[in-house]
Amino acid sequence: MKIEIYNGEHVGTAEWQAPGRVALDVEDPERRSWFESFFATEDSTLDGPVECASMTGAERGDSSEEAFARALYRLGFYSYKFRDVASTAGARDT
């Protein structure tokens, strides 16, 4: 799964390749470092009904293709948008 990342302008690409390995093509060294950290950081969420919510297991954004896809939606918290490189539908808000 390879995606293009935008933040008002094209930032670069990220591709999940294998557990623990996301290939980044980001020119700005500071942004590249931020994305490396972002995908390597563990994240967990609450799920279930409000009266008995439970914590999901922590997962890194680079641990699986599914975790990578979930991490992409968290990019929206940082004003990033993305689109699948294979898609021609345009950037999706995250």
Residue 90: pLDDT over 60: no
List Cβ neighbours of 66 (8 Å cut-off, separation of 6 or more).
none
Tell me whether residue 36 is in a domain.
yes
Tell me whether residue 68 is in a domain.
yes
- Report if pTM > 0.85: no
Tell me whether residue 34 is in a domain.
yes
Tell me the average pLDDT of the chain.
Answer: 87
Tell me whether residue 15 is in a domain.
yes
Percent of the chain with pLDDT over 90: 65
- Give the whole-angstrom CA distance, residue 84 versus residue 65: 13
Tell me whether residue 93 is in a domain.
no
Residue 58: pLDDT over 60: yes
Q: Residue 94's pLDDT is what?
A: 46
Percent of the chain with pLDDT over 70: 85
Tell me whether residue 92 is in a domain.
no
Residue 81: pLDDT over 60: yes
Tell me whether residue 51 is in a domain.
yes
What total of structural domains would you count in the chain? 1
Range of the domain at 75: 2-84
Tell me whether residue 94 is in a domain.
no
